[in-house]
Structure 1
Amino acid sequence: MAENTDVVVIGGGYAGVMAANRLTLRGDVTVTLINPRPDFVHRIRLHQVVGGTGSAAVDYREVLGDRVRLVVDTVTRIDAAGRSVALASGGTVGYDYLVYAVGSGSADSAVPGAAEFAHPIAALEDARRLRPLLDATPTTAPVTVVGAGPTGIEAAAELAETGRAVTLVCGGVLGPALHTKGRRSVAARLARLGVTVLDGSGTRVTGVARDAVRLADGRELPSRVTIWAAGFGVPDLAARSGLRTDALGRLLTDETLTSVDDGRVVAAGDSAAPSGLALRMGCQAALPLGARAADTVLSRIAGERPADLKQPFSAWCVSLGQRDGIFQLANRSDVAMGFHVDGGLAAKAKETVYKVVLKHLAAEAGKPGSYRLHRIPGDARRRQLRKAGPAGAPVDAGRTA
């Protein structure tokens, strides 16, 4: 009788759910998914939670396979030598292989007053806490959104569409990942919504007070509610557990997503740094990374060499309220191209993305192994960067037995 293999997946976001579902492709693999929440969070809808126009919570029964055991708890430490994880509620869970997919959240800010007076929106709990505050704040009161990436842009547009007086503080360039043409389109559409956009080097935030935001150029902006959307951070679980990470805290892996320290630990999603060259944080990378991580584990169980990472990109899709948006085409190396679609058609495209992402997860739950997008060749720029040398060689799984 074949020996059963226990795989623990830490983190029930896009990458973790994709990996967990795919791992059930083998009948002799037992999969346990550990996540601190009882619901799946559809993170690309969090701006709608902030705006009061939608929900980001999805029942796990809609996206998780029946053979995956869900444990609602928080992992406090990984014991790689003992092949187990410690839980906040007490006790441990053992594993033969571990998929590290803890995701990302709001980055800790060193800006004075930001932790006390600014409101992050990178997690469901953050967005939900912000809603009652906004409901209790007069519509005419000034709202400041700090951060000009997709999260900040979408939150600013969502709130402005409801009639709020919103200022978007870029701290640099508006939509830095967008092409110049796309950036101009976003700026024009935000202006039509009534959003005041402050960009340039002088707009770096130097301080946040209860009712104001201070900028590097000396300006002080009145702000009844300040929303912090300036970058993402990664949980420090890997570092606390003695596994090597990059400067942001993402687990260092080789191109098969295997930890450079332990061949039994595989990373996926926002918390992975393959060859020290982390990919874009978001579901467009998380889904294929989750599938690749699962394939790596399945290959090792089968005694085969795992395939290297292939990670093509195609576009940036940003909402600008309920009826507008931009679909910015990108090449496979995730560099924005000169073509984009905006307006109502882009808004419909984003709505399609919301649905397709969940369909991918549900399809993998129903038919493990059906997802194939992670096998598309791409990212020539990444291959060039790797010529400088990998972050390290993984420990062979056999030597960690």
Structure 2
Amino acid sequence: MTGKTDVIVIGGGYAGVMAANRLTQRDDVTVTLINPRSTFVERLRLHQLVGGSDDAVVDYRRILADGVRLLVDTVTRIDAGGRGVTLASGGTVGYDYLIYAVGSGSAHPRVPGVAEFTYPIATLEEAQRLRTVVAAVPATAPVTVVGAGPTGIETAAELAEAGHAVTLVCGGVLGPYLHSRGRRSVARWLAKLGVTVLDGPDTQVTAVTRDAVQLSDGREVPSQVTIWTAGFGVPDLARHSGLSTDSMGRLLTDETLTSVDDVRIVAAGDSAAPSDLPYRMGCQSAVQLGPQAAETVLSRIAGQQPKPVDVGFAGQCLSLGRRAGIFQFAHRNDTAMRLYLGGRPAAKLKEFVVKHTVEQLAYEARKPGSRSLWFKDDQRQQQLRAKCRETRPAAEQTA
């Protein structure tokens, strides 16, 4: 390959920014980051935006390397055969390699009334809209948060601390990721904040109306503002472009994050499904997958074999308002252990993690390739072998 190598990164979230910055290691690579917004969104702070304590945005000039061209637009189709992308503005951009880092957004559940009467919070625009709604209602107005994952817990705590009357509808277990000890700690802090927690198998939402949430056990929860945080989905760009995806629409790749359809397309972040065993959606995996996706591209440019992905986890960090939190320690394979840190120390740790993540992006912009050590999940190879054993009999039966 002669001359410049053009690489497009679709998506300017945590994974996309890390990937774009890492690519600037080579002077003969031109990097274009395509993103629908002109500012970086700190998704880790969207619940703070709703509560009014942060705007959840960062200037790209702070975190993008000088060699990265930011193109504010939306990709509507990938033409793998022609090595180009179509933009919502009507233009097209060609590439030699493409990194697919479109992230995730709100899921679209088939629950009556959700589309009409609830407020999602997965994107900046959704959170800004919700902030306006929350600010306009009286503090005594009943607010219901549906979904007891990290976003639901953090949003409920943030709003309760601000004086709102909040009910958290879990639809099952409070904080499914948490160890039972950590879960009890979260429940205690939510109770201190005045959050009413409805958990258990009978708290599935069956319908939402303008002023209530109906549960599977027949209860009706009054709600003037209903916030939906139950699950995330990914854009359908890959599927719409004829690329192989998993059942959720994440791009199917091998263990080097390379598309199973095209060696010039590499995925990272929430929208990647390596070996059809995707990592947990979130910033912790995104900041690891982004630079490794870039390294796969750089290896191919150099005529070398890319290395398999190596991602591990330290735990899950949640804020419980501005004065408390929890850090749930985990094994490297992303399973919670008994150990956790709670209260004010955990709140300080969460704030440090959020700030450090942005600084990590900025550091990679200044010194691309500086980070090469990640947590390692030693059990992933066992998972891959087990998956191979499961699929082999089915393949033999159809042969």
State the TM bucket, normalised to the shorter chain: over 0.9
CA distance in 1 between counterparts of 2:360 and 2:170 reads 33
Selected match of 2:378 from 362, 377, 380: 380
The letter for the 2-side match of 1:86 is T
1:391 Cα offset (Å): 12
Q: Distance in 2 between matches of 1:320 and 1:382?
A: 32
Equivalent pair of 1:252/1:274 in contact (CA under 8 Å): yes
Query: Following the alignment from structure 2 to structure 1, what is the Cα–Cα distance between the partners of residues 119 and 49?
Result: 14
Q: Percent identity?
A: 68
User: Within 5 A, what are the aligned runs for 1:217-366?
Assistant: 217-366=217-366
Distance 1:230 1:373 in 2: 33
Where 2:145 maps in the other structure, the secondary structure is strand
CA–CA separation in structure 1 for the residues paired with 2:168 and 2:80: 44
Partners of 1:253 and 1:274 lie apart in 2 by: 5
- Secondary structure, counterpart of 1:48 in structure 2: helix
Q: C-alpha deviations, 1:85-119, integer Å up to 9, x for none?
A: 00000110000000000000010111000011000
Equivalent positions of 1:42-81 (< 5 A) are: 42-81=42-81
Q: Does structure 2 retain, via aligned residues, the 8 Å contact 1:31–1:68?
A: yes
State the secondary structure of the residue aligned to 2:388. Answer: coil
1:36 is matched with which residue? 36
Q: Following TM superposition, by how much is the alpha carbon of 1:163 offset from its aligned partner in structure 2, in angstroms? A: 1.2
Give 1:373 deviation, angstroms. Answer: 3.2
TM-score of the pair, normalised by structure 2: 0.96
Deviations 1:116-143 (A, max 9, x none): 1000001000000011111110100100
CA distance in 2, matches of 1:70, 1:117: 36
- SS of the equivalent of 1:7 reads strand
Q: CA deviation at 1:46?
A: 0.3
- Measured in 2, the distance between the counterparts of 1:97 and 1:391 equals 33
Instruction: Supply the AA of the counterpart residue of 2:388.
Output: G
What is the identity, as a one-letter code, of the residue corresponding to 2:120? Answer: P
In structure 1, the residue matched to 2:102 is: 102
**C-alpha deviation, 1:371, in angstroms:** 1.6
TM-superposition CA deviations, 1:176-226 (whole Å, max 9, x none):
000010000000110010000000110000001000000000001100000
- Displacement, 1:390? 10
* CA–CA separation in structure 2 for the residues paired with 1:188 and 1:197: 10
Gaps of 5+ in 1: 393-401
1:91–1:16 distance in 2 versus 1, CA, 3 Å: same
- Cα distance in 1 for residues equivalent to 2:6 and 2:34: 13
Describe the superposition over 1:316-338 as per-residue Cα deviations: whole angstroms up to 9, x where unpaired.
Answer: 00000000000110010010010
| Structure 1 residue 372 displacement after superposition | 2.0
TM score, norm. by length of structure 1: 0.96
The AA in structure 2 aligned to 1:383 is: Q
Q: 1: CA distance between counterparts of 2:380 and 2:209? A: 41
Distance, in Å, in 2 between the alignment partners of 1:76 and 1:241 is 9
Aligned length: 390
Amino acid at match of 2:58: V
1:389 aligned residue: 388
Between the aligned partners of 2:268 and 2:50, the Cα distance in structure 1 is 27
Give 1:399's aligned residue: none
Aligned equivalent of 1:133: 133
CA distance in 1, matches of 2:158, 2:58: 21
After the TM superposition, which segments of 4 or more aligned residues of structure 1 sit over 6 Å from their partners?
Answer: none
Shift of 1:379: 1.7
Structure 2: runs of 5+ lacking an equivalent = 392-399
Q: Which amino acid aligns with 2:384?
A: R
1:370 counterpart = 2:388: no
